[in-house]
């Protein structure tokens, strides 16, 4: 009994917080009742742990090659601050919501800059933003992701693997950043 308690006490506060974020992620479902794709879940947790409010994600799916036929052909994670109550009737709340999302963009841009400071990546694998809507929401995805439709099936498969690795390497970077306190 004491050894079990000791094991729990040996966990750092950051490890406990990380596990809580994992548990939160386990409860997230989409409109179809599906949970977060297993191939992107750790990345979503790393975004959440670093105070990026996620609002969707996909590990990337290639139709007809053993992959589920839903979602996009590339991995992505959406970031959007929760809409404020009453935003539809308040220009001030709409503006603040946009400002809050722009702050998330700036924070993400700084972290991506730090991630790529000493990292060699193919230019199309490098992570960037795709802006969504008028309130500053965005998706983090590989630069070449939007060109996937123009590729052959074999090229799509290779790029999907490359893009998954890039976003998961970034997730590991974010996890390390979180565990080190900042």
Q: What is the CA radius of gyration of the chain?
A: 18
Other CB atoms within 10 Å distance of the CB of residue 123: 8
> What tens digit of pLDDT does each residue of 29-78 get?
887 888 999 999 999 999 999 999 999 999 998 876 554 556 789 999 99
Question: Which pLDDT belongs to residue 53?
Answer: 96
- Give DSSP secondary structure letters for the chain: -HHHHHHHHHS-HHHHHHHHHHHHHHT-B-TTS-B--HHHHHHHHHHHHTT--EEEEE----TTTTS-S-S-SS-EEEE-PPPPTTGGG-HHHHHHHHHHHHHHHHHHHHHHHHHHTT----TTTSEEEEEETTTTEEEEEETTGGGGGGS-HHHHHHHHHHHHHHHHHHHHHHHHHHHTT-
The answer to whether 125 and 144 have CB atoms below 8 angstroms apart is yes
Between 70 and 98, the more confident residue is 98
- Integer Cα distance of 105 and 139 in angstroms: 10
Domain count for the chain: 1
Question: Which pLDDT belongs to residue 1?
Answer: 46
> What tens digit of pLDDT does each residue of 2-13 get?
445 544 557 789
Question: Which pLDDT belongs to residue 43?
Answer: 97
State the residue range of the domain holding 52. Answer: 2-179
Q: Is the pLDDT of residue 164 over 70?
A: yes
- Integer Cα distance of 88 and 168 in angstroms: 36
Other CB atoms within 10 Å distance of the CB of residue 45: 25
Question: Which pLDDT belongs to residue 65?
Answer: 54
Lowest mean pLDDT: which of 4-18, 71-85, 119-133? 4-18
Question: Which pLDDT belongs to residue 63?
Answer: 74
Q: Which residue has the tokens 């590989």?
A: 142
Q: Is the pLDDT of residue 123 over 70?
A: yes
Mean pLDDT for the chain overall: 90
Q: What is the pTM of this model?
A: 0.88
Is residue 181 very low, low, confident or very high in pLDDT (cuts 50, 70, 90)? confident
């Amino acid at each position: 009994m004491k050894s079990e308690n000791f094991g729990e006490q040996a966990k750092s506060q950051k490890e406990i917080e990380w596990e809580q974020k994992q548990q939160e992620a386990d409860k997230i479902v989409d409109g179809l009742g599906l949970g977060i794709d297993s191939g992107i879940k750790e990345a979503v947790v790393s975004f959440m742990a670093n105070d990026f409010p996620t609002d969707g994600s996909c590990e990337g799916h290639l139709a007809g090659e053993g992959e589920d036929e839903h979602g996009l052909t590339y991995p992505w994670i959406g970031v959007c601050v929760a809409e404020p109550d009453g935003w539809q009737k308040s220009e001030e709340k709409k503006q603040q919501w946009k400002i809050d999302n722009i702050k998330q963009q700036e924070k993400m841009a700084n972290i991506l800059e730090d991630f790529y400071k000493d990292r060699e990546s193919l230019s199309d694998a490098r992570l960037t933003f795709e802006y969504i809507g008028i309130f500053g929401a965005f998706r983090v995805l590989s630069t070449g992701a939007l060109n996937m439709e123009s590729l052959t099936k074999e090229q799509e498969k290779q790029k999907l693997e490359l893009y998954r690795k890039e976003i998961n390497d970034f997730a590991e970077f974010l996890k390390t950043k979180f565990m080190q306190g900042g």
